[in-house]
Amino acid sequence: YIFDTILLVTVAVGIAFLLSALLRYDAHTQKRAELRQAYEVEYGVSFDIAQEDYEKLSEEERKKIDDAYALFATDTEVREIDSLIINLSLLIVVFGLLIPFVGLELLVPMAFGHGRTLGKKIFGVGIMRIDGVKISNFQLFARAILGKYTLETMLPVFLLLLLLLNVMPVASLFGLAVLAFLQVAVIMFSQQHGPIH
């Protein structure tokens, strides 16, 4: 499990880096930084001010920063770039994780047979049903893509992204708590004592 996880994460980071370069993610974030700096120069303010420093400013200085930031946040070009950056981030995360899962958790086990990933192959173990029957390709797909990728990886990742972006933070925390509770409950109380997948 540890070997497979390290391999999966390594491949996922490599693919995410490659997708980031192909989609010119850094160029878009640089463009946003340039627009932000242009607003700071034009209005003579700094948006990178700590809360305690902000509170020490005079009413007039705070209003100047607030007005400049309001104009920056409503700028059409800034909004388009922000939207593009969010969409590219989601695309990189989705495919940066999907490709390694399909390759390492589905195609490799199909090639090796008996549901063996590289880690399972090294240690001479495989996957089978409770009744001792070899796992089918459909069961392998359901386990790897529907279980591991969708339920155990992408759903928590999307909930974390919503939490970090401050979109539905309470619902995100609740969803993460429910997923964690469900995973622990399945491991502790199911007959096989295994994770959801």
**What is the pLDDT at residue 104?**
93
Put simply, whether the predicted model's pTM sits higher than 0.85 gets the answer no
Using CB atoms within 10 Å of the CB of residue 60, give its burial: 0 to 12 exposed, 13 to 18 middle, 19+ buried.
exposed
Tokens 């399945």, located at residue: 186
Ramachandran sector of residue 163 (left: φ over 0; alpha: ψ -120 to 50; beta: rest): alpha
Blockwise average pLDDT, block size 10, the chain, 197 residues: 92 96 96 94 90 89 92 94 93 95 92 87 83 84 90 90 84 88 82 70
**What is the pLDDT at residue 188?**
81
**What is the pLDDT at residue 193?**
66
Phi first, then psi, for residue 142 (nearest 5°) are: -60, -40
**Alpha-carbon distances, residue 197 vs 9, 51, 139, 193 (angstroms):** 18, 44, 10, 11
Give the list of residues 6+ apart from residue 38 with CB closer than 8 angstroms, or none.
none
